[in-house]
Structures are given as structure tokens and as C-alpha cells.
Amino acid sequence: MAVTIKDVAQRAGVSHPTVSRALRGDSSVTLETTTRIQQIARELGYIPSAAARSLKTNRTRVVGVLVHRVSDPFYSRVIDGIQDTLHPNAYSIFLASTNNDRTRQAEIIRAMTERRVDGLILCSMFITPEYFREIQARGASVILLHNRAAKITPFTLYHNDRYGARQMTRHLLELGHTRIAFLGNTRAGRESAERLKGFKQELDAAGMTPNPRYIVHAAFGQPPAAAEPIQALLALAEPPTALVCFNDSLAIGALQVLHNAGKRVPQDWSVTGFDNITIAEFMNPPLTTFDQPKYSLGAQAANLLLRLMESPGTDDSTWNIPSLRGEILVRGSTAPPPH
């Protein structure tokens, strides 16, 4: 069908191994022959078959990336970072989204295994240790990003949830707030639990005991999910004056609910987000949030994976796993409490 290496060989009057070597820049081929073969290959529009090459070399130069949803504003930035790092290294990316569906995740990993990806970046919550080991046994390098069970492998990159939550809480304490609420995300599991833990720790450190009524949870991590828990907070006899949200999307949902209830942010309520998604600074008011280095996170994960794929088998924890802390960004959605 398509033009193969043999076509080029025939046209050049050489054997196909010579063409193979010439195009790969093997120095054992005469410079003259090399340039002639390259010329002919270009004329014929020869493009080698990755499938055939992979079959022989046992490497695909493909990396699989798994997220729960591509349109998630957090992960889409992570993917940008992965893309920009892997592309210059001539790797292609299989991207798939699980939709938080275990069955679908299994199908995807199966497909990626059939395709013999060299590496895998998994941003899923559903990776068990056994699962991880099975994938690894098949020869693929694996990086976990943001995983619930962070102890499966040393090759896990995750932001410091507890640290971030403490930063946000401290900021509100420093502004003078005493009635501070926390809005978690049920679906985020460990991640949400960690941030709640940080929230409580910081209150403890300030000598305050967290009010259990101020700890509420959204069913998932998108703006509409904020409505119900925020209504509950508003209905309290003594509502809070500040709110630490699990992420920016929920904070944005909270802003809207508060606005509709006639509450002004930040005069009546202070609200903080988490992640610093692109849109956060363009909200009205601009969102005070914890800036996660999303792009860098993706880039670092990709870099780590590249190193791992180059030197497989070194499962030592002697590796220097970068840890990305992030930082607080104070914007317009927080202020001292009223009166």
C-alpha cells in the first residue's frame, strides 16, 4: 500500500538494511550513499512504520495519560505541561479519560497495554498496589500523579494538600476571622481529607477548636455542587464569616450562591479557593487561592517519566523526586471580617 523501506532500497539500488542504516544516521554507511538515500526517501515520501519498528525494537515511544476528565481545568493544564515536555522528545501521547468509572479505567489500561506504551502517567484515584504492580510487570514505567494512596510507589508526584490548606486557613486567621468554615469534596477522597486535616491543624495551632457545623461537603468538585452545603451554612443561627473551599470550582459556585443570597464578598464573607485555575483571577471578586503549579506538575511528571524510561529497572528510591509546594495568592475574595 504505502511506500516501504524496500521501495526506497530498490530505487536506490541498495538493500533495505542499508536504507535502514542510512536513515538512522549510522556512520557505517558512506556519506554519499546516505545523502542519496535520504534524497530518494524524501522524493518517494517514505515515512517509516512505527508498528514495524516497535515490533522489532520493543519500544513504542508512546506514553499513556489517564485523567478523569479532559475538560477539568486543573488537569487540562497538567496535560499542557506533559505535552510540551514529551513532544520535543519525540514521544506521542495516548490520552484517555475515565469519567470516574472503574470499568472504563480498566478498559483503558488494557488498551494501553495492548499498545505497549513505554510509560504511563496516571492521575486516577482507583489505582491499587496490585494493579500498579501488574502494570509495572509488563515493562511500562509508571508515574502516579495526585493519587489517593500515595505510598504505592516512590514515583508519585502530588502537591502538598495539607500545607496548602494550612496556608489558606492561616491567611483567614490573620485577617481576624474566628468563624471559619470548610467545604470539602466527597468524591476527592484522600485529597479532600488531607485538606480538611490541614484546616483543622491550623485552627488547633491557633488554639481554636473547629466547629463541626462549619465542616460541610459537596458531592463532587464542580460549581453547582456548592449550592446545597452553602445553603446549609447560611441557615445556621451563627453563620461563618469565612470559607475555605476544596478547590476553585467549588469556590466559584459558592461565590454565586452567596451573591444570590445577598451576601457581599469579601465584605460579609471571605472565600478562598484552591488550585488557581486559569479563570480564578478573572472572577468578580478575583479569587484568593492556593496556586498549584499545574503546568510544572505535568512537566515534572513527564521529565521524571523520561528518566525512568531511559533507565528501566532502577526501582530504587535513590531518585530525586521533585516536590512542588505551591504558594498562596491573595486576591480580592478575602478581607477582614465584618463589624
Partner DNA sequence: TAGTATCTTGCACACGTGTTCATCCCCTAA
Partner DNA sequence: TTAGGGGATGAACACGTGTGCAAGATACTA
Nearer to DNA, 6 or 307 (CB): 6
Which residues from 285-304 bind a copy of itself, rule CB under 8 A? 286
Of these, 25, 28, 31, 51, which contacts a copy of itself (CB under 8 A)? 51
User: Least Å distance between CB 49 and DNA?
Assistant: 4
Give contact residues for DNA (rule: CB under 7 A): 1-2, 4-6, 13-18, 20-21, 23-24, 27-30, 33, 46, 48-49, 52-53, 55-58
Nearer to DNA, 28 or 311 (CB): 28
Nearer to a copy of itself, 13 or 133 (CB): 133
Nearer to a copy of itself, 80 or 213 (CB): 80
Which range binds a copy of itself by CB under 8 A, 32-40, 86-94, 147-155, 183-191?
86-94
User: Least Å distance between CB 131 and DNA?
Assistant: 22
What are the C-alpha distances in Å from 70 to residues 74, 109, 185, 224? 9, 17, 19, 19
Of these, 10, 44, 94, 197, which contacts a copy of itself (CB under 8 A)? 94
Of these, 69, 179, 197, 331, which contacts a copy of itself (CB under 8 A)? 69
